[in-house]
Amino acid sequence: MRRWHFAKNRMFGGQGPILDLLRRRNGITQMVNSARNQVLNYKIKTLHVVLLCGVLMLQAPSGLAQSLSFDDQVEQILENHPRIEAAKQTVKSLEEGLRVSQKSWFPGLSVTGNQAKEDRNNVSGTDDVHIKSNELKLTLTQPVYHFGSKSAATQISRLSLAQAEKTLELTRQSLILEIGAAQMGVSTAIEKLRYAKRSLTNLQKQTKLEGIRVKSGAGVSTDVLQAKVQLAGAKARLVAAEGQLNTQENRYLAVFGELQNEFLKSRKLRLPAEDLPEDVEEALEIARKNNFQLQTLEDAVSLSKASLSQIKADQIWPKIDFTVDKSFKENVGGTRGKAQEYVAKLQFTYNFNLGFSAVNNIDAARANYLAAQKQLDDARRLIDEAVRNAFVAYKQALQNAILLREQADLSKAFLELARKERKLGKRSLLEILSGETAEINSRSDSAEADGARVTSALALLSAMGVLMPKHLALD
């Protein structure tokens, strides 16, 4: 009995060290698992960071474009567009050409050198000469008087530069108009698509309700068919609106390029009413003073006149120059030894074609001058017509926008009242569906008229020659 009790005590008392070992092993296992989990979490976090950096790098350009304001977009387009860059390079080229023409009065230095072998068979009594000769000649030519040829060339370069600068401004105005038209086009298309989707949703809901009424015996099957007819029409309008949006987005992408901003697409432009003329006469007066197309054609007339003066000077009159020659000779002309020559002279040069081609050149230049004048006269009439048409289009767009907005408000009021009367049994489903169609169509027409109002105003300012980036302000 005592032995058993002792054995029992030994057995149960010996579990202390074993339990300690088990606890220690479990603690070590937990520590290992914890460390393993920490390493795994670190790897996962590192992978997430790498992926996030990759995504941010891929989205960096678009993120930059999304962060730009509309004014920044316009500024960058007008600064970096390929057409603007091309016009700037043309201006730069003509600036260099003007500097060249202005430096034509500077003296010119020509250097001529030769090395030859001379064999001279002299008359009897004089030894023949067989020697190698060397000669270096420096000629300094200072233009004195060219009867207006060089002055005309400088004037031509200056006028060409002025014409290129006006062409640059004309290019900038055309881009401003394109930006405005693209912005209004895509925003109007988005609004029309929103109306088309809303109309389709309402008709689907109405068709479903009528189907339920027919099944319950409270409706008429012809009403369901009529609702499906209207529903098919709404789907067609939705497809048309989506197609119009795709087209306008293509135009928007062509104008804005990488600077397109999805958030700003739906924003419309404010009407630049403060700079619009009160009547057509005011518009014509401003256009005749500021239209860059007219100004470039006026420069073309001046250019052709200066060209006529230059051709007369070159073809009829001589050129008078002062020249200085300095020659270094060795064994030249059969004379052994070195020699130097110095000659200063005032000379004139006259080139005359015996076929009297000078007369033909002058007649051709005079014909070009008259042609430029006629083109300017025709352009004045065409620009007057363009300004008048732009003014009429703007006024019509204003009236259409007002009338169509009123129509849309009336259609909405009628539809709301008709729906109430429909619940009371005073209106047929056909009247409700017709009102629904009329309301969405009037909303779409009003949105389009509102866009045409702003676009026509920008076109009028462009025809007048006063369109500027400040006129592209978001509403």
If phi over 0 gives left and psi between -120 and 50 gives alpha, with beta otherwise, what is residue 428?
beta
Indicate the average pLDDT of the chain. Answer: 82
Instruction: Report residue 416's pLDDT band, with 50, 70 and 90 as the boundaries.
Output: confident
Does some domain include residue 51? no
Tell me the pairing of strands 129-145 and 108-120: antiparallel
Per-residue pLDDT at 61 exceeds 70: no
Instruction: Report residue 38's pLDDT band, with 50, 70 and 90 as the boundaries.
Output: low
Residue recorded with tokens 């209207």: 230
Q: What is the pLDDT of residues 157-173, one digit of tens each?
A: 999 999 999 999 999 99
CATH of the domain at 325: 1.20.1600.10
The number of CA neighbours under 13 Å toward the Cβ of 76 is 14
Orientation of helix 149-215 relative to helix 292-316, angle to 10°: 150
Q: Are 442 and 407 in contact (CB under 8 A)?
A: yes
- Whole-number Å distance between alpha carbons of 223 and 227: 6
Does some domain include residue 6? no
Phi, psi of 129 (to 5 degrees): -120, 130
Helices and strands per DSSP (H, E), number in the chain? 11, 4
What's the confidence (pLDDT) of residue 186? Answer: 93
What's the confidence (pLDDT) of residue 214? Answer: 64
Does some domain include residue 431? yes
State how many domains the chain has: 1
Per-residue pLDDT at 37 exceeds 80: no
What's the confidence (pLDDT) of residue 277? Answer: 93
Does some domain include residue 22? no
**Mean pLDDT across 237-244:** 91
Q: What is the pLDDT of residues 426-445, one digit of tens each?
A: 777 667 777 877 888 888 88
Q: Which of 147-151, 203-207, 216-220, 372-376 has the highest mean pLDDT?
A: 372-376
Could you tell me the CA-to-CA distances from 120 to 130, 216, 465 in Å, in that order?
A: 6, 130, 76
- Whole-number Å distance between alpha carbons of 446 and 269: 15
Q: Which of 113-127, 381-395, 410-424 has the lowest mean pLDDT?
A: 113-127
Neighbour count for residue 51 (Cβ, 10 Å): 10
From the list 269, 253, 268, 267, the residue with the least C-alpha distance to 62 is 253
What's the confidence (pLDDT) of residue 218? Answer: 55
Q: What is the pLDDT of residues 81-99, one digit of tens each?
A: 999 999 999 999 999 999 9
Q: What is the pLDDT of residues 304-354, one digit of tens each?
A: 999 999 999 988 888 999 999 999 988 887 778 888 899 999 998 888 888
Per-residue pLDDT at 207 exceeds 90: no
DSSP string, 64-107: HHHHS-HHHHHHHHHHH-HHHHHHHHHHHHHHHHHHHHHGGGS-
Residue 323 pairs in a beta bridge with: 141, 345
* Cα R_g (the chain), whole angstroms: 44
What's the confidence (pLDDT) of residue 206? Answer: 73
pTM: 0.75
**Mean pLDDT across 377-399:** 94
Domain span at 394: 70-114+131-471
Does some domain include residue 26? no
Residue recorded with tokens 């007649």: 363
Does some domain include residue 269? yes
Which helix (H) or strand (E) is 259 found in, with range? none
Does some domain include residue 61? no
What amino acid occupies position 22? L
C-alpha 225, offset from chain centre: 51
Tokens of 336: 């052994």
Query: Which is higher by pLDDT, 24 or 106?
Result: 106
From the list 321, 317, 299, the residue with the least C-alpha distance to 362 is 317
- Whole-number Å distance between alpha carbons of 456 and 176: 13
Cα–Cα–Cα angle for 449, 453, 457, rounded to 5 degrees? 160
DSSP state letter for 220:
-
What's the confidence (pLDDT) of residue 296? Answer: 93
Tokens of 376: 């300017």
Q: Are 298 and 288 in contact (CB under 8 A)?
A: no
Q: Which of 178-182, 186-190, 285-289, 336-340 has the lowest mean pLDDT?
A: 336-340
% of the chain residues with pLDDT over 70:
81
**Mean pLDDT across 372-389:** 95
Could you tell me the CA-to-CA distances from 192 to 198, 250, 433 in Å, in that order?
A: 10, 17, 19
Q: What is the pLDDT of residues 256-314, one digit of tens each?
A: 887 777 788 888 999 998 999 999 999 999 999 999 999 999 999 999 999 999 999 98
Residue recorded with tokens 């729906």: 419
Instruction: Report residue 423's pLDDT band, with 50, 70 and 90 as the boundaries.
Output: confident
Does some domain include residue 286? yes
